Chain A
């Protein structure tokens, strides 16, 4: 045990976490030439393409230092706020963390909140100033920022470059010298923390865990505490680039477990694994049943694909336990599912995975958060509204509550004004403004979660020219003056476009939605009125003028091929449209109404 080191990496997106992880794997000889590829740990195509880490990953490296063999377990974590619970569990599985900071960008909001999590878990923090090779690197100033944040010595900050490999030896040295070996008692009953699970078509769910006490042996009868389910450990082992089956995984180590579980839902990140016959009394703290924050309807573009969509969603859920869904029906779209997501990125990822991995063309309706409605009849009992159409008749409603968050934004001082006015426009209340350095300001707000759903990230990026990082956590429900804004196309309400919004913003948002839809819905052979309404009151209106000419003048020998391709492309586009009444609505129109300021 004294030669094991468990550590994770805390970094803001693009600060070089994946690249540095690649270098660590190279340097320790954990990958052969043939296995090498960039962003090795991000195994999903989607992760590689977008350069984001969606799932946690773990890899074990062997490393000889001063003549001794060490086992280094690196747990890679997602960087986005949607996945902060997973991050917290990965952190809980480690004794140390590399805090990677881009030498040109300095520390960002997401990094700070994860850093605090790591500190709360008593992790040893190794600050790494990355990308020192960049001409725009600002090592002195960023080192000062780090020193100030951590209260460490400037000498403790390791200068490195994932690009050139500079400093990688120093990092490994620090991992061994500074991060404590795991403590724990091999003789106590098994106590292991589940920090992730992965679905494998052939082997079912692979559960990733960290053993705190005791050991887990092949064939052992075990129990998952939170779900109160028992299994046999069919296979256990450690996680090299490929899995290495072992007789047992011992105290302090990180490994995988196969039990024949078929669905990810059964394996809850944060749960404790223990021995069935001799269970631990010591349950690992911090377990939460993660709750979805954002809800949206997902419907097949082609109504006939409903069953296939259900199959696909079920399969997706096998490897993404945080996805929840239940059947619902919409007057406009027919049968589909109301789905719960961890956040907006998670929602995008699910939609994209449905398209890529399951070849499903889907419509995602306007997302919303989960509201609590109280009726006059039952003023103390919350009625949960995960879909705007479930909101009871306004005349019977006593009040509606919506979820609030505490948001932290770090930005450059130049943009404080812009960020502030954006947050106020988004119904935020300023709580605090702290100058981290003369140039860098941390702002905290209370604001409704719903405002994050509506066009927040993009606008934050715009008003701060990209120099703002954002983090949040929920703080509970608050009563708000909410109304349901309905959209009518050709005088027919389209429930999939309804949204609950604050009464004061209704006029403005209604107007912008009409304008946006006018831009997105292609002209058809008749005029299409678009109206925004609250109840029976029309608050805004636009008209999509009828298409009068849709023909190319010339179709001679040289035009046929090009024209055919053009019309084929149009046809493909139409396949992504959904007919509601007699109006064809493009798939992206349902989502694009979120981006009202583009």
Chain B
């Protein structure tokens, strides 16, 4: 049992996901607004709490089986092999897991020494998602990444020897990075024959160091036009090399789409373990408190420190539009009609009209999809198709 990831699939399969949040990083990247701590003092306690939370929530999936386990962060590569195994054991003892689950570890190049990679390759981990971001020193410095350009290349050389299923993160639209440099970054990943790439425009989130530095004039602001050009370079290069642009920021070769992330976009259930992690039951979303100490304390007293939000039909429709438009699977009018009714379908078609005319959206049979031209404007388009 696994998710059906073929582009035109509409079948639903009951593989569900477990996300485990490891809220530690060695140093804070300037652009990051995730939940993490750079102090490892609480690491042991936190791992115990993660395991306890996995036990506490073991009945939530009922009969569903787990198709993907994902260590995200933060920087999960700060965990030792032993720690990873303890957590995975808790998953396997408390949940029904499919035969060949995707088990991903997010890792940063500076953690991926040869010995570490070998260790990991012997564990149940079968997919690495490596936070390379760039192969240029200046870019890495500007973003305050913990690794340097050499480490980035060296770690890919090693990782590809021990792992087949690897994803690399790249950031574009970095102030000062020329189109030529971006081209080189793409080429480097292609040369390593990496089968999956996640690539993001550098985004200035409020209250991050990057935001402050830009405001102070220490770093040049990001530039939309540069990001737009580099985004289209990326699409062009990768699709020419056999990648499918299956989600706005994700490219995969056939058979290498991320099972874990596809589940998010296909409305599959998932449990998020750890501080700040989100869960989805199909009917509601909930999220744990984004505070390590409070999280640990609550879990120790066997309560879930989470808030919950029940989704109305309207919420579900909006989410389907939002996630559907970002993916290769699009928004099926048939699904809209059966799940939400013909009113919603009529509304959607009426709202889509102007974008269809402008060729920002197109209909592929009965499925509404975003065109390459529309991709960089997809938030505004989705919002327009929303119902409130």
Binding site for B on A (CB under 8 A): 525, 547-558, 560-561, 563-564, 567-568, 570-572, 574-575
Does residue B200 face the partner (Cβ distance < 8 Å to A)? yes
- Are B287 and A558 in contact, with the CB atoms below 8 A? yes
Does residue B315 face the partner (Cβ distance < 8 Å to A)? yes
Q: Please name 7 pairs of A and B residues whose Cβ atoms are closer than 8 Å in the assembled complex, sorted by A.
A: A547-B224, A553-B249, A554-B249, A558-B277, A567-B379, A572-B388, A574-B384
- Cross-chain contact of A567 among B249, B265, B309, B318 (Cβ < 8 A): B318
- Are A568 and B383 in contact, with the CB atoms below 8 A? yes
Does residue B280 face the partner (Cβ distance < 8 Å to A)? yes
- Cross-chain contact of A550 among B249, B380, B386 (Cβ < 8 A): B380
Bound CA–CA A187/B280 (angstroms): 82
The size of the chain B interface, using a CB distance under 8 A, is: 43
* Residues in A whose Cβ lies below 8 Å from that of B375: 551
Bound CA–CA A584/B228 (angstroms): 23
* Residues in A whose Cβ lies below 8 Å from that of B177: none
* Residues in A whose Cβ lies below 8 Å from that of B377: 525, 547, 549-551
Bound CA–CA A75/B143 (angstroms): 67
Bound CA–CA A525/B285 (angstroms): 33
B41-49, B114-122, B189-197, B319-327: which lies at the A interface? B319-327
Overall SS of chain A's interface: loop
Does residue B227 face the partner (Cβ distance < 8 Å to A)? yes
* Residues in B whose Cβ lies below 8 Å from that of A548: 224-225, 227-228, 376
Does residue B29 face the partner (Cβ distance < 8 Å to A)? no
A-B complex: 5 closest residue pairs judged by Cβ atoms? A553-B200, A567-B383, A558-B278, A549-B224, A550-B380
Q: Tell whether A547 pairs with B203 under 8 Å between CB atoms, given A564-B322, A571-B388.
A: no
Bound CA–CA A548/B377 (angstroms): 7
Q: Which of A550, A564, A574 has the most CB of B within 10 A?
A: A564
Q: Tell whether A551 pairs with B248 under 8 Å between CB atoms, given A558-B276, A558-B277, A567-B322.
A: yes
- Are B323 and A571 in contact, with the CB atoms below 8 A? no
- Are B264 and A557 in contact, with the CB atoms below 8 A? yes
- Cross-chain contact of A568 among B19, B285, B318, B323 (Cβ < 8 A): B318
- Are B224 and A571 in contact, with the CB atoms below 8 A? no
Bound CA–CA A571/B388 (angstroms): 8
- Are B388 and A561 in contact, with the CB atoms below 8 A? no
- Cross-chain contact of A574 among B201, B322, B326, B383 (Cβ < 8 A): B383
Does residue B97 face the partner (Cβ distance < 8 Å to A)? no
- Are A550 and B376 in contact, with the CB atoms below 8 A? yes
- Cross-chain contact of A560 among B227, B322, B383 (Cβ < 8 A): B322
Q: Tell whether A551 pairs with B376 under 8 Å between CB atoms, given A557-B272, A571-B386, A571-B388.
A: yes
- Are A552 and B379 in contact, with the CB atoms below 8 A? yes
| Given A525-B358, A550-B378, A567-B379; 5 other pairs, CB 8 A cutoff | A553-B249, A557-B278, A561-B309, A570-B379, A574-B384
- Are B386 and A560 in contact, with the CB atoms below 8 A? no
* Residues in B whose Cβ lies below 8 Å from that of A558: 272, 276-278, 287
- Are B228 and A568 in contact, with the CB atoms below 8 A? no
In the complex, the chain A residue whose C-beta lies closest to that of B380 is A550
Does residue B84 face the partner (Cβ distance < 8 Å to A)? no
What's the minimum C-beta distance from B275 to chain A, rounded to whole angstroms?
A: 11
Does residue B80 face the partner (Cβ distance < 8 Å to A)? no
- Are B376 and A570 in contact, with the CB atoms below 8 A? no
* Residues in A whose Cβ lies below 8 Å from that of B339: none
What's the minimum C-beta distance from B159 to chain A, rounded to whole angstroms?
A: 22
* Residues in A whose Cβ lies below 8 Å from that of B228: 548-549
Bound CA–CA A548/B224 (angstroms): 6
* Residues in B whose Cβ lies below 8 Å from that of A564: 315, 318-319, 322
- Are B264 and A549 in contact, with the CB atoms below 8 A? no
- Are B322 and A557 in contact, with the CB atoms below 8 A? no
In the complex, the chain A residue whose C-beta lies closest to that of B375 is A551
Bound CA–CA A554/B322 (angstroms): 12
Q: Tell whether A570 pairs with B278 under 8 Å between CB atoms, given A551-B248, A564-B318, A575-B388.
A: no
